[in-house]
Amino acid sequence: MRVVVVGSGIAGAAAGYELARAGAEVVLVDSPIPGRATSAGAGIICPWSSRTDDPDWYRIAVAGTEHYRGLLAALAADGETGFGYRKVGALRLVSEAEAEDELRRVAERAAESPMAGEVELISARRAREVFPPLGHDGPAIHIPGAARLDGRAVRDAMRRAAVRRGARIVNGAAEIVADSAVRGVRVDDVFIGADAVVAAAGAWSPQLLEPIDVQVRVVPQRGQIVHLRLPGVETAGWPVVLPRSRHYLLAFDDSRVVVGATREDGAGFDHRVTAAGMAEVLGEALSVAPGLAGATHVETRIGFRPMGPDVRPLLGPVPQVAGMVVVNGLGASGLTIGPYAGSVAARLARQADPGIDLAAYDPLR
Least Cα distance to 312 among 39, 61, 32 occurs for: 61
Among 290, 307, 324, where does a domain finish? 307
Residue 106: partners with Cβ closer than 8 Å, 6 or more residues away: 48, 49, 92, 119, 141, 143
pLDDT tens track for 151-184 = 999 999 999 999 999 999 999 999 999 999 999 9
Whether residues 198 and 291 share a domain: the answer is no
B/e letters for 56-89, b = 16+ CB within 10 Å, e = fewer, are ebbbbbbbbbebbeebbeebeebebeebbbeebb
Among 307, 323, 351, where does a domain finish? 307
Domain annotation covers residue 329: yes
How many domains is the chain built from? 2
Whether residues 125 and 173 share a domain: the answer is no
Whether residues 240 and 355 share a domain: the answer is no
CATH number, domain containing residue 30: 3.50.50.60
pLDDT tens track for 210-269 = 999 999 999 999 999 999 999 999 999 999 999 988 899 999 999 999 999 999 999 999
Whether residues 236 and 303 share a domain: the answer is yes
pLDDT tens track for 253-269 = 999 999 999 999 999 99
Whether residues 295 and 258 share a domain: the answer is yes
pTM of full prediction above 0.85? yes
According to the model, what pLDDT value does residue 32 have?
A: 82
Whether residues 13 and 128 share a domain: the answer is no
Domain annotation covers residue 63: no
Distance separating alpha carbons of residues 233 and 225, to the nearest angstrom: 21
Percentage of the residues of the chain whose pLDDT score is greater than 90:
94
Q: Cα torsion for 113, 115, 118, 120, to the nearest 10°? A: -90
Domain annotation covers residue 58: no
Whether residues 139 and 225 share a domain: the answer is yes
According to the model, what pLDDT value does residue 246 have?
A: 86
pLDDT-based confidence at residue 40 (cuts at 50, 70, 90): confident
Distance separating alpha carbons of residues 19 and 347, to the nearest angstrom: 8
pLDDT tens track for 270-311 = 999 999 999 999 999 999 999 999 999 999 999 999 999 999
Whether residues 173 and 281 share a domain: the answer is no
Domain annotation covers residue 107: yes
Distance separating alpha carbons of residues 49 and 33, to the nearest angstrom: 33
pLDDT-based confidence at residue 319 (cuts at 50, 70, 90): very high
Percentage of the residues of the chain whose pLDDT score is greater than 70:
100
What is the pLDDT of the chain when averaged over all its residues? 96
Which residue segment(s) compose the domain that 9 sits in?
2-39+152-217+310-361
pLDDT-based confidence at residue 44 (cuts at 50, 70, 90): very high
Domain annotation covers residue 161: yes
According to the model, what pLDDT value does residue 182 have?
A: 98
Domain annotation covers residue 82: no
